[in-house]
Chains A and B, each alone.
Chain A
Amino acid sequence: GESVGLHLPTLSVQEGDNSIINCAYSNSASDYFIWYKQESGKGPQFIIDIRSNMDKRQGQRVTVLLNKTVKHLSLQIAATQPGDSAVYFCAENTGFQKLVFGTGTRLLVSP
């Protein structure tokens, strides 16, 4: 079936480093992608989104890159902070507002 997957289950970085979290998607018809941050025991928190007519979008300390040729999505976090420690999910809008979530990457930031 269609799926959105991640390459790294856990990413450990030092405070101040830049973090890159990757995601592969399989539905070439998807036109909207979102990154969510989920802290333990809480619901997902919207970070940034991108539509398929763009290949890059920047927010505050975060950048999302979309490569439609290889169906790859990445989230870059600049100057990672301990408060960034969480599980990050990419999600793909497969149509009719339905989201398919990736398996998630745990980001651990050491002070």
Chain B
Amino acid sequence: GAVVSQHPSRVICKSGTSVKIECRSLDFQATTMFWYRQFPKQSLMLMATSNEGSKATYEQGVEKDKFLINHASLTLSTLTVTSAHPEDSSFYICSASERSADTQYFGPGTRLTVL
């Protein structure tokens, strides 16, 4: 149980284009989903927290207009990197938790490379 998937697992795009990453909870309802970014050999940094049906809460320094988050259902959240640039190249990881639960279950991550 408690499986989280991400799609795509890898994506390469040209600078200036937008990329959408999907995060799905496969066997539970995720009232809260989290998006993290991880640069090579570094720790995970929380970007934003999203609750189903409401606007995401972004961490300080994360541009909400650049990283669009939608959590339209209890099993799906999407992260769209708009006008991507090489410095946005990173490993993006989502996690999901059930209502009032502390445990976060992580997806396998999406490797984004912007050329």
Q: Interface on A for B, CB 8 Å cutoff?
A: 32, 34, 36, 41-46, 49, 89, 93, 96-104
Contacts and interface: CB of A to CB of B under 8 A. Distances in A.
Interface stretch (B13-21, B62-70, B71-79, B105-113): B105-113
Contacts of A104: 42-43
A99 B104 contact: yes
A41 B109 CA distance: 8
B104 A45 contact: no
A63 B45 CA distance: 26
B19 to A, nearest CB: 18
Nearest to A100: B46
Given A41-B109, A41-B111, A46 B44 contact: no
Contacts, number: 50
A98 B43 contact: no
- The 5 tightest CB contacts between A and B, nearest first, are A43-B106, A101-B43, A43-B109, A44-B106, A101-B44
State which size class the interface on B falls in. 20 to 34
A13 B32 CA distance: 38
B49 A97 contact: yes
Contacts of B42: 103-104
Nearest to B59: A98
Given A41-B109, A43-B108, A46-B103, A97 B43 contact: no
A44 B109 CA distance: 9
B97 interface: yes
A43 B107 CA distance: 6
B108 A89 contact: no
A104 B102 CA distance: 21
B106 to A, nearest CB: 4
A46 B1 CA distance: 13
